Amino acid sequence: MFNLFKKKRDLYTGEPFPVTTDIHSHILAGIDDGSPDIATSLKLVKGLYDLGYRRLVATPHIIGDYYRNNPDIINRELEILKNACAEAGINIELFAAAEYMLDDYFLQILKQKDILPVYQNFILTELPYSVLPMNINEMVFEIITAGYKPILAHPERYFYYHHDLNEYFRLKELGFLLQVNLLSLTGYYGPPVTKAAKFIIDNGLADFVGSDMHHLRHLEILSSKETNVILNKHIRDKGFNNF
């Protein structure tokens, strides 16, 4: 079982980093907008390991118009990364799933059951940043009917929810589990996103947190003393669900 909040010693500040399992990252090389090559992937994994992470779930994008990844592609890159980590002496558990854009292409692969869950029947999903899909209710219904539990990645980053933060309650009522990005709490994505992230967490709406790690700049910020203080303040002892 995954345990998201078993405390490890943070090598950067001496304080416990509040997360040891990451369910959202883009650390596989060259298949989406995350790590461009295996050398970068190793740096990201090693950096997360040094923070205290011991389990990472790589979740490359699957988007109909951009990244038509599939289980074969993703699992191939997972094995490459596992082998590279073993050779580098990084003793960390690596898994792979996907971050599914809720688009028409997703509905196709959902019907085919060609899905990579984060764990058991939990799947990581995302929405477009530009406009809220009109058929989101139907999408959630299709996911649940197919036997899956949808986790919505970084709901705090969808600006169309910022005008009324109570919309996050509605997302929960629809059937979404909510995953907040750790960096959203630091101001990295801007004040409105930070406000929304804190609202979700403070109102008990967050089920998971994730790094959404894409590149070395993300790792640099996540590894800072300032971030460690912020994360321990906002997510420590919040009772998040564990895998």
User: Would you kindly state where each structural domain of the chain is located, as residue ranges?
Assistant: 8-234
Helix, strand, or coil (residue 166): coil
Give the pLDDT of residue 239.
53
**How far apart are the C-alpha atoms of 40 and 35, rounded to whole Å?**
6
What's the alpha-carbon Rg for the chain, to the nearest Å?
17
pLDDT tens for 40-67 read 999 999 999 999 999 999 999 999 999 9
What are φ and ψ of residue 8, in 5° steps?
-125, 165
Secondary structure letter of residue 122 according to DSSP: E
Give the pLDDT of residue 10.
40
Phi-psi region of 30 (alpha: psi -120 to 50; beta: other; left: phi over 0): left
> DSSP string spanning 65-108?
TTB---HHHHHHHHHHHHHHHHHHT---EEEE--EEE-SHHHHH
**How far apart are the C-alpha atoms of 185 and 154, rounded to whole Å?**
11
Ranges of residues in the chain whose predicted pLDDT is under 70: 1-15, 237-243
Contact of 242 with 120, CB cutoff 8 Å: no
Strand-by-strand arrangement of the 55-58 sheet: 21-22, 55-58, 93-96
Give the pLDDT of residue 242.
56
Q: SS3 helix, strand, coil % of the chain, rounded to 5?
A: 40, 20, 40
Q: Which CATH class is domain 8-234?
A: alpha beta
What are φ and ψ of residue 178, in 5° steps?
-110, 135
pTM of the model: 0.92
Give the pLDDT of residue 14.
53
Give the pLDDT of residue 17.
80
Give the pLDDT of residue 180.
97
Tokens of 154: 């970084």
Contact of 235 with 24, CB cutoff 8 Å: no
pLDDT tens for 10-31 read 444 456 788 889 999 999 999 9
Do β-strands 177-181 and 99-101 pair in parallel, antiparallel, or remain unpaired? Answer: unpaired
Tokens of 241: 């669900």
